[in-house]
Structure 1
Amino acid sequence: MNFSSWPTLLVVDVEGNGTNPPDLVEVAALPVRDGQPDKSTAAAWLTKPKRPVTPFAARVHGLTNQVLEGQPGWEEIRDAVHTCLGTAWIAAHNAHVDYRVLSAHIPRWQPAGVLDTLRLAKATYPSLPKYNLDALIEHVAPDLSDAPAQRHRATYDAYATTQLLIAMADRYETWEQLVAAAVPPGLPGAPEPEQEPTLW
């Protein structure tokens, strides 16, 4: 894979407060440049949700109501997050979730495209019994020694997803082949289905 052919791409991850629909409590965006995660220009935000964090969510990511008490509300950081994301491509694991939540929180945001590393993993490693992030980390064994925070925090999961994306992308010759395997139908950037020729 020629990584220099890639458009601007950010690997994103979000953590929520456990309600449905969720309020955001953490957002991370990690650029990929020349086939490597660019931590020097990565961005991450903590935000105090309007509704309290549920005990279950707090146990998963460790972001309790007490931890978030002094953080800005979403309205205070929304424009900064929107500016960071811009119109770049994004990638995420089970990207429907991150795309849906971010779109609900930033109605004017429209990425160029959405790569889903879950969909990509199923195409790249068709015989795995599971495709969650932990299973893929175990299978691919990426170098996560520089990953910030810990598992289930947005910064860590974005870094792990980036390393998995880079490893899987090496199995594809072109960006177009990667897009065909990784972009779910109906999400931005999905290839147009080929039209059957007709007489009319």
Structure 2
Amino acid sequence: MMRQVVLDTETTGLDPLQGDRVIEVAAVELVNLLPTGASFHRLVNPKRDIPAEATRVHGFTNADLEGKPGFEEVAEDLLAFLGDSPIIAHNAPFDFGFLDAELLRCGRKPLDRSRMVDSLDMAKQRYPGMPNSLDALCRRLGIDNSMRTSHNAVLDCKLLAEVYLELMGGKQPGFELAAALAGNGPVLVDGEAVSWTARPIAVPDDRAAAHQGFVASKLKEAIWLKPPFAPEA
């Protein structure tokens, strides 16, 4: 099982070294590249004013965050959700830089950069010289982002999870189901584990005999009758 976490933050500005702070952090869990439904989301009181230009980007005002917990109050829950999994973010150095500043401010270790997966860098390698913002990638890859009227960490995580799946080459959820059926194991449906039992289709004896007769008379060179495919006598 491969667990990864897609993460996004919203902030008061662009530079944590100039006093800008995190105001929202969200993350969604992926297992084998597919969302499980598990997620993390917190609004954070930055304990400073939010500039008007930042509000125009993400829509949050000082009043929206009044009474919300400070980052030091959400850090433990965030780190527990992240675990030791790789962390996927669009322009990941930006998000890591802000989270590292917040973690250091409350006496915790910064995130291990070896865990960082930058989907923006991946997109630039795949589509060199083209716009590679999250909106641009959604349009290019046919992902519906019509509800994204402003930056929102939860929505951005969900969209990025879809974008990341496509950047990794795409994957049909049915393959996951088929694999689970083959082993009679659990499969995730809307984030919940459901047990499935394979039900083989029985072939009547007369139909099986007719098929064997056809193969013997018409398909003498059938590859599945030859080693290593032929069953042992």
TM-score, length basis structure 1:
0.74
Q: Pick 1 or 2: higher relative contact order, CA cutoff 8 A, min separation 6.
A: 1
Deviations 1:66-96 (A, max 9, x none): 1111211112111111222222110000111
1:30 aligns with 2:28: yes
Give me the whole-angstrom Cα distance separating, in 2, the residues matched to 1:81 and 1:54.
26
Give me the whole-angstrom Cα distance separating, in 1, the residues matched to 2:9 and 2:149.
14
Deviations 1:106-157 (A, max 9, x none): 24143451111111011222352x1111111111122558x8x854111111
| Structure-2 change in CA distance of 1:127 and 1:19 (3 Å) | closer
Alignment correspondent of 2:124: 122
Over 6 Å off, 4+ runs: none
Conserved 8 A contact 2:59-2:150: no
Give me the whole-angstrom Cα distance separating, in 2, the residues matched to 1:75 and 1:169.
34
Conserved 8 A contact 1:13-1:92: yes
**Aligned partner of 1:10 among 1, 5, 14:** 5
Deviation at 1:12, TM superposition (A): 0.3
Once the two structures are aligned, what percentage of the paired residues are identical? 33
Deviation at 1:49, TM superposition (A): 0.7
Give the greater-gyration-radius structure (CA): 2
1:135 aligns with 2:136: yes
- Equivalent position SS for 2:121: helix
TM-score, length basis structure 2:
0.64
Alignment correspondent of 1:183: none
Give me the whole-angstrom Cα distance separating, in 2, the residues matched to 1:36 and 1:86.
18
Matches within 5 A, 1:145-184: 151-170=150-169
- Equivalent position SS for 1:29: strand
Task: Extract unaligned runs of 5+ from structure 2.
Answer: 172-233
Alignment correspondent of 1:179: none
Give me the whole-angstrom Cα distance separating, in 2, the residues matched to 1:161 and 1:120.
12
Give me the whole-angstrom Cα distance separating, in 2, the residues matched to 1:14 and 1:61.
10
Task: Extract unaligned runs of 5+ from structure 1.
Answer: 173-200
- Equivalent position SS for 1:87: coil
